[in-house]
């Protein structure tokens, strides 16, 4: 489908009676037909603010509808849902104190994703505030393929709000806030996966917001972290990281695990990281975009990204010697440099 132009849907009969009989055709915008970007677009698009709200849809047979005080838990629904079907969450707050795990192998299909989505336009909050701060207390772990998570807020987890460790997933219009490590992290879940091809790949994170994430060490909680053990083909589009304890985005690498995949950021904004919403120094690093480390050369691609009022640098290579692409990237009001240690970067 091309937006802004006429699109034709052809329906071919496979029956003897001159069918098909069509009851309903539902057309929705964006998302499921996503193919990861491989080449940076040369067009300049204005940066738009994501609105982390949900959209209405019509449930069909096989979907599951949950309500905050219903008898079925989100984990039960996740373990039951079939490809092409949706778990709808009615508005309200769902309180859980245990990690929600979408297991490896609990996959959708390329043309029939498993969907987890807000039902209606009011806020759906999955609240893990009852957890203690601990590296195993992530909120949601998505370790499967071909899921679409849309319009939910994940707050208060004892570690990452979401650990995205699977492949070919779409995370859309979600908010990650007040988690006690990075809001959304892309890294392996299975710690025996030692090669990059097994690390999270080809995921799209679109129209998401990550804010007020804070760990007690004031060291790790970034807005978005695609680091350490992150694979190829992951894209962040139209996302905002604001007032996180550590960095807005962190693409750090470690010598022990080696290079991560190239990450693409399009139309993203990093604002006020290293400061709380009250304007006070969090004690964290406070870079808008930390683009690696000197242990690996990874040529990340940033297009139309903005860094404003972060405590430290707007964009820092942090020692990554690669030809990082920075196309139409701008910013102002950062405490350090706008572009730091990006000597080999390609500015377009």
Contacting residues toward Ca ion, per CB under 5 A: 135, 159, 181, 219, 222, 246-247, 250, 285
Q: What is the DSSP string of 97-158?
A: SS-EEE-TT---BTTB-EEEEEEEEEEEEEE-TTSPS-TT--SEEE-SBSEEEESEEEE--S
Cα dist from 81 to 115, 143, 197, 220, whole Å: 9, 15, 27, 34
Considering the complex, what minimum distance in angstroms separates the CB of residue 203 from Ca ion?
20
Question: Distance (Å, rounded) from C-alpha 192 to C-alpha 44?
Answer: 41
- Residue closer to Ca ion by CB (options 178, 246) is 246
Contacts with 10 (C-beta within 8 Å, 6 or more apart), sequence order: none
Question: Distance (Å, rounded) from C-alpha 28 to C-alpha 124?
Answer: 20
Considering the complex, what minimum distance in angstroms separates the CB of residue 324 from Ca ion?
17
Which helix H or strand E contains 74, and what residues bound it? helix 74-80
- Residue closer to Ca ion by CB (options 143, 285) is 285
Considering the complex, what minimum distance in angstroms separates the CB of residue 131 from Ca ion?
12
Structure tokens at 2: 């091309």
Considering the complex, what minimum distance in angstroms separates the CB of residue 282 from Ca ion?
10
Q: Which of 145, 150, 227, 290 is catalytic?
A: 290
Considering the complex, what minimum distance in angstroms separates the CB of residue 244 from Ca ion?
9
Minimal CA–CA distance to 204: which of 234, 182, 249?
Answer: 234
77: helix, coil or strand? helix
- Residue closer to Ca ion by CB (options 285, 293) is 285
Query: Are the beta carbons of 340 and 307 closer than 8 angstroms?
Result: no
Considering the complex, what minimum distance in angstroms separates the CB of residue 167 from Ca ion?
23
Query: Are the beta carbons of 312 and 286 closer than 8 angstroms?
Result: yes
- Residue closer to Ca ion by CB (options 114, 311) is 311
- Residue closer to Ca ion by CB (options 115, 243) is 243
Annotated active-site residue 45? The verdict is: no
- Residue closer to Ca ion by CB (options 207, 246) is 246
Catalytic machinery residues: 290
């Amino acid at each position: 489908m091309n937006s802004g132009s006429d699109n034709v849907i052809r329906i071919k009969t496979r029956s003897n009676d001159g069918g098909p009989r069509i009851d309903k055709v539902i057309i929705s915008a964006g998302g499921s037909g996503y193919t990861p970007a491989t080449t940076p677009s040369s067009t300049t698009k204005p940066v738009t603010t994501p609105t982390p709200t949900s959209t209405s849809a019509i449930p069909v047979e096989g979907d599951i509808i949950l309500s905050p005080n219903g008898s079925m838990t989100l984990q039960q629904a996740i373990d039951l849902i079939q490809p092409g079907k949706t778990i709808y969450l009615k508005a309200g707050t769902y309180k859980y104190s245990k990690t929600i795990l979408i297991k490896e192998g609990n996959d959708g299909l390329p043309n029939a994703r498993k969907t987890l989505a807000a039902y209606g336009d009011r806020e759906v909050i999955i609240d893990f505030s009852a957890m203690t701060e601990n590296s195993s207390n992530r909120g949601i772990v998505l370790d499967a393929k071909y899921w679409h998570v849309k319009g939910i807020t994940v707050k208060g987890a004892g570690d990452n709000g979401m650990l995205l460790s699977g492949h070919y997933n779409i995370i859309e219009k979600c908010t990650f806030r007040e988690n006690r490590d990075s809001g959304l992290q892309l890294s392996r879940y299975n710690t025996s996966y030692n090669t990059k091809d097994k690390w999270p790949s080809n995921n799209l994170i679109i129209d998401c917001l990550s804010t007020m994430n804070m760990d007690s060490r004031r060291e790790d909680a970034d807005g978005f972290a695609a680091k350490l053990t992150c694979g190829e083909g992951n894209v962040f589009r139209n996302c905002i990281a604001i007032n996180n304890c550590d960095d807005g985005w962190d693409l750090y690498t470690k010598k022990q695990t080696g290079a991560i995949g190239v990450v693409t950021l399009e139309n993203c904004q990093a604002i006020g990281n290293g400061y709380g919403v009250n304007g006070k120094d969090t004690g964290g690093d406070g870079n808008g975009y930390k683009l690696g480390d000197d242990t690996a050369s990874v040529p990340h691609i940033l297009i139309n990204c903005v860094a404003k009022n972060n405590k430290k640098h707007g964009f820092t290579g942090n020692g990554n010697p690669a030809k990082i692409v920075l196309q139409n990237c701008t910013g102002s009001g950062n405490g350090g440099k706008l572009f730091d240690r990006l000597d080999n970067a390609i500015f377009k």
